[in-house]
């Protein structure tokens, strides 16, 4: 996959490469949440709390639980040239300039999202949910809580993205209010001609 190129679907270069025999090996998307409605976000958090989860920002001392959750969920992320997932060791987590928001069930971390503040624009680094706790609104809840956390800092635009095959990721972001604004193509060149 190292020779793959990732281009926006409306980039004329993508059209040129396709005409030259390159093929689309994966698709991905970028979505934005602009000027979010705090009431809608609070309702998503409340739903998780009503179901018995404690949704809150994580302290630095809780990052080992994040590393454990990421080690467990790593095989569930779809891998494409545009959505590579590095190993999330404790050392790497500590080195990130990120805020982490989690959903706890007792002493178990059931869900986490990591967001990287950047003034007005905040990007989600990733979101993951323990397999035993999926389809209960937890991804939407931690994402909503992360937006509520950063709104008071002046953040207004929240970005996220993922692989087109990741139906769960698209659905959780739509639930929070994210709108897909761009699509990306991962393109691979034609096999080079064999010379004898
Ligand atoms: C993607 C993921 C985070 C979703 O977590 P989740 O807690 O199950 O999602 P939620 O319960 O908050 O779902 C929110 C919405 O998405 C829908 N949804 C969740 N998973 C879905 C799936 N696999 N297919 C279709 N829809 C899905 C839910 O039905 C819900 O829709 P609704 O609001 O209409 O009811 C989880 O499957 C996961 O951890 N996957 C592995 C890591 C990953 O791919 N992360 C995303 C990329 S960073």
**pLDDT for res 32:** 98
The residues spanned by each domain of the chain are: 29-183
Q: Name the 3-class secondary structure at 185.
A: strand
Using CA atoms, how far apart are residues 171 and 46, in angstroms rounded to an integer? Answer: 19
Residue length of the chain: 196
Pick the atom of ligand 1 nearest to 136's CA.
Answer: 11
Using CA atoms, how far apart are residues 2 and 6, in angstroms rounded to an integer? Answer: 11
User: In the CATH hierarchy, which fold is given to the domain comprising 29-183?
Assistant: Aminopeptidase (3.40.630)
Nearest CA to ligand 1 atom 14: 172
Nearest CA to ligand 1 atom 23: 168
Nearest CA to ligand 1 atom 27: 168
Q: Which residues of 61-95 are buried (b: 16+ CB within 10 A; e: fewer)?
A: eebebbbebbeebeeebbebbbbeeeebeeeebee
Q: Which of 100, 105, 80 is nearest to 88 (CA)?
A: 100
The alpha carbons of the chain give a radius of gyration, in whole angstroms, of 18
CB 168 less than 6 A from any atom of ligand 1: yes
Cα 87 to chain center, whole Å? Answer: 15
Flag whether the pTM goes above 0.85: yes
Using CA atoms, how far apart are residues 165 and 186, in angstroms rounded to an integer? Answer: 13
What is the best residue among 29, 68, 139 to mutate for testing ligand 1's pocket, by most ligand atoms within 8 Å of CB? 139
Q: pLDDT band for 193, please (50, 70, 90 cuts).
A: very low
**pLDDT for res 191:** 86
> What's the order of all strands across the beta sheet hosting 23-34?
5-8, 179-188, 23-34, 157-163, 121-129, 108-116, 99-105, 54-57
Using CA atoms, how far apart are residues 147 and 150, in angstroms rounded to an integer? Answer: 5
Pick the atom of ligand 1 nearest to 126's CA.
Answer: 48
State pLDDT tens for residues 38-64: 999 999 999 999 999 999 999 999 999
**pLDDT for res 83:** 83
Q: In whole angstroms, how far apart are CA 187 and each of 7, 26, 32?
A: 8, 7, 24
Tokens (6 digits) for 13:
């270069």
Using CA atoms, how far apart are residues 16 and 31, in angstroms rounded to an integer? Answer: 25
State pLDDT tens for residues 81-95: 888 788 999 999 999
């Amino acid at each position: 996959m190292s020779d793959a190129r990732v281009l926006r679907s409306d980039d004329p270069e993508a059209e040129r490469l396709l005409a030259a025999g390159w093929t689309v090996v994966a698709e991905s998307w970028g979505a934005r949440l602009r000027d979010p409605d705090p009431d809608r976000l609070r309702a998503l958090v409340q739903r998780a709390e009503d179901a018995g989860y404690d949704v809150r920002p994580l302290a630095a001392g809780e990052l080992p639980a994040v590393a454990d959750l990421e080690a467990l969920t790593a095989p569930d992320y779809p891998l494409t040239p545009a959505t590579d997932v590095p190993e999330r060791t404790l050392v790497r987590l500590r080195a990130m300039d990120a805020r982490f928001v989690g959903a706890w069930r007792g002493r178990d971390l059931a869900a986490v999202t990591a967001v990287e503040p950047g003034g007005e624009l905040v990007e989600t680094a990733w979101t993951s949910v323990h397999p035993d706790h999926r389809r209960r609104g937890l991804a939407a809840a931690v994402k909503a809580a992360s937006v509520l956390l950063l709104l008071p800092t002046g953040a207004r635009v929240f970005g996220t993205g993922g692989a087109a095959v990741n139906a769960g990721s698209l659905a959780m972001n739509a639930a929070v209010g994210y709108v897909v604004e761009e699509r990306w193509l991962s393109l691979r060149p034609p096999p080079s001609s064999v010379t004898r």
